[in-house]
């Protein structure tokens, strides 16, 4: 009996490691083997490459990308890969360690934000649609460089995405310029690039890295800010503990709504075929509801 309990305990102990990275490695075929660091990189790459390359995402879409720690399974995956697309700007603090752990000298590690003007300390570049276009273009150029045979296919997909994203950007510019209010209160201070691009200000309950729990002083500051500026809505993101957000909303009689930094997808979002574009459209509707 003791032995059985021990086996069950050991099984439970090791279970999360197996579940953390569900990827099963690349198939043995001629297509480029591409690894993406987290959901946004996966979505951007898929929009250009579709099934012309093999794409495996490192951070499981439903996990918190800020808390990712790579495992030996990820190293094995990258030893067999041709390209790793990552966001850069510090979003993947593990990138240098992973580089040191690899013997695969043929792996191209591509920083997709290389052409973006950084906002100090903020890695969430993709929340400006203009930055998203720049990052997708880096992905497209890289794919063409290493897989020239599919150049026309990649260019065609890029032009189609570019058209959609230019329209999305125009929607943001036009809609937000009509808002009378410009301040948003958010759970995780991830919207610096969005605010910078479209003329909003964000106040975060949690910081840029979604790490430290807010103390009483911070919560009091947020409550005062909400009352002084007649804020009607507090934004939070899917997959977080809403306790602090709900506490502040109760104290200030404000609504809570989702504003999604798109660091991953919930199971429901995956089921509903959501992507960067559909979620950014929903984000704009949410902003409109709060600020118009
Ligand atoms: Zn974040």
- pLDDT tens digits in sequence order for the chain, 292 residues long: 555 554 444 444 443 333 345 578 999 999 999 999 999 999 999 999 999 999 999 998 878 888 899 999 999 999 999 999 999 999 999 999 999 999 999 999 999 999 999 999 999 999 999 999 999 999 999 999 999 999 999 999 999 999 999 999 999 999 999 999 999 999 989 999 999 999 999 999 987 777 778 889 999 999 999 999 999 999 999 878 889 999 999 999 999 999 999 999 999 999 999 999 999 999 999 999 999 9
Alpha carbon distance 75, 61 (integer Å): 18
Distance 90 CA to ligand 1 centre (A): 11
Ligand 1 mean position, distance from CA 128 (Å)? 14
Q: In the numeric block, which tokens belong to residue 154? A: 């990649």
Phi and psi at residue 185, in whole multiples of 5°? Answer: -100, 125
What pLDDT score was predicted for residue 1?
53
The pLDDT score that the predictor gives to residue 241 is 84
Q: How far is the CA of 249 from the centre of ligand 1 (A)?
A: 22
**Residues 31-67 as b or e (16 or more Cβ within 10 Å = b):** bbbbbbbbbbbbbbbbbbbeebbbbbbbbbbebebbe
In 3D space, the residue among 178, 207, 150 whose CA is nearest the CA of residue 30 turns out to be 150
Specify the pLDDT at position 10: 46
Please, where in the chain does CATH 3.40.50.1980 lie? 23-171, 173-291
**CA of 93 relative to ligand 1 center, distance in Å:** 12
What is the rounded distance in angstroms from the CA atom of residue 53 to the CA atom of residue 75?
20
Domain 23-171 fold: Rossmann fold (3.40.50)
Return the pLDDT at 19.
39
Res 4: pLDDT: 53
Strand, helix or coil at 148? Answer: helix
CATH 3.40.50.1980 holds for 173-291: yes
What's the gap in Å between 189 CA and the centre of ligand 1?
A: 7
pLDDT value for 206: 85
CA of 2 to the centre of ligand 1 (A): 44
């Amino acid at each position: 009996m003791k032995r059985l309990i021990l086996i069950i305990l050991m099984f439970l102990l090791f279970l999360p490691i197996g579940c953390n990275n569900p990827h099963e490695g690349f198939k043995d075929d001629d297509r480029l083997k591409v690894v993406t660091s987290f959901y946004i990189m996966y979505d951007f790459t898929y929009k250009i490459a579709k099934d012309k390359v093999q794409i495996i995402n490192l951070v499981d879409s439903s996990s918190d990308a800020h808390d990712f720690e790579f495992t030996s399974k990820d190293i094995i995956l990258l030893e067999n890969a041709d390209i790793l697309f990552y966001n850069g700007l510090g979003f993947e603090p593990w990138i240098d360690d992973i580089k040191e752990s690899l013997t695969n000298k043929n792996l191209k590690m591509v920083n997709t934000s290389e052409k973006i003007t950084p906002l100090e300390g903020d890695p969430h570049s993709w929340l400006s649609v203009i930055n998203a276009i720049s990052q997708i273009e880096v992905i497209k150029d890289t794919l063409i460089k290493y897989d020239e045979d599919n150049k026309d296919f990649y260019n065609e997909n890029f032009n189609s995405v570019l058209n959609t994203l230019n329209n999305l950007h125009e929607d943001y510019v036009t809609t937000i310029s009509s808002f009378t209010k410009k301040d948003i209160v958010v759970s995780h201070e991830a919207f610096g690039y969005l605010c910078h691009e479209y003329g909003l200000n964000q106040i975060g309950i949690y910081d840029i890295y979604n790490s430290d729990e807010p103390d009483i002083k911070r919560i009091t500051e947020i409550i005062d800010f909400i009352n002084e500026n007649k804020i009607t809505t507090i934004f939070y993101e899917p997959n977080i503990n809403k306790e602090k957000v709900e506490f502040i909303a109760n104290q200030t009689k404000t609504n809570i709504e989702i504003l999604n930094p798109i660091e991953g997808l919930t199971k429901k979002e995956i089921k509903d075929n959501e992507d960067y574009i559909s979620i950014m459209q929903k984000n704009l509707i949410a902003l409109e509801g709060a600020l118009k």
